[in-house]
Amino acid sequence: MAETPSSKARRGRGRRAGLTRARVVEAARELDPDKVTMQAVAQHLGVDRGSVHHHVSDVQTLRELVAHDAFTTELSPVVIPDGADWREACRLLAVSMYDAVIASEGFGVYIRLTSADIAVLEPVEQTLRIMLAAGFDEATAARALATLATLAGATAREHLLQQRAAGHPQFPEFQQALADAPTADLPLLRHLAESAPLIYDETQLGIAIDLLLDGLACRRKR
């Protein structure tokens, strides 16, 4: 397809601005995830929007690039020791995944792995190897790792929601539901809401991991 004067101009602005895709991604990470748009990134960089589009086609792609960069940077260096017990390996993998999603901040829902992300998958491969050596069958080990990934990702995303200025969006709704109910109803939930509201953090993740590992240990003995 022949180049038009406008397309040449857009690429020219991108080059003159000295931008790279990496710098665009870095700039997006510096913004509030809820406010990332192509225009917002351009303003943050002090360039026009065409310069940003020169490197990234649209905001969805930009969010995926930001999430991918943060997630893989955090998870790639993780090493599961060869001599690790299966419990230790599972716990290390889950906590590492949790940390990686936390590192991606509000972009966690946009994480997409590619064929180039072999280093990210190596801890999963090693954990699977350890579980099979410990006597788990392939189906159980695979489902266990899928559950670990779900626990880690979900807890991390809830934690990120909780860290927003307005707090977790579901907690005020929960409090309102209790306020609307008759005073004598749900006394235990009322007590928990007042004294120890659920906090999505590493402690919550640890409890979830313990429950899963205890269940796997029982299944392994059958």
Q: Give a yes or no: residue 18 inside a domain.
A: yes
- pLDDT interval class at 208 (50, 70, 90): very high
**Residue listed under structure tokens 């090693």:** 126
Indicate if 89 and 192 belong to the same structural domain. yes
The string of pLDDT tens digits covering residues 42-57 is 999 999 889 999 999 8
**Residue listed under structure tokens 């895709």:** 21
pLDDT of residue 148: 94
- pLDDT interval class at 73 (50, 70, 90): confident
pLDDT of residue 55: 92
Structural domains of the chain, count: 2
Q: In this structure, are residues 79 and 130 in contact, taking their beta carbons and an 8 Å threshold?
A: no
Q: In this structure, are residues 89 and 56 in contact, taking their beta carbons and an 8 Å threshold?
A: no
- pLDDT interval class at 198 (50, 70, 90): low
On the question of pLDDT at 157 being above 60, the answer is: yes
Indicate if 107 and 30 belong to the same structural domain. no
Determine the angle formed by the axes of helices 38-45 and 59-75, rounding to 10 degrees: 70
* Mean pLDDT (whole number) for 72-77: 85
Note down the domain range covering 101.
Answer: 78-221
Indicate if 35 and 143 belong to the same structural domain. no
Q: In this structure, are residues 21 and 61 in contact, taking their beta carbons and an 8 Å threshold?
A: no
* Mean pLDDT (whole number) for 53-74: 88
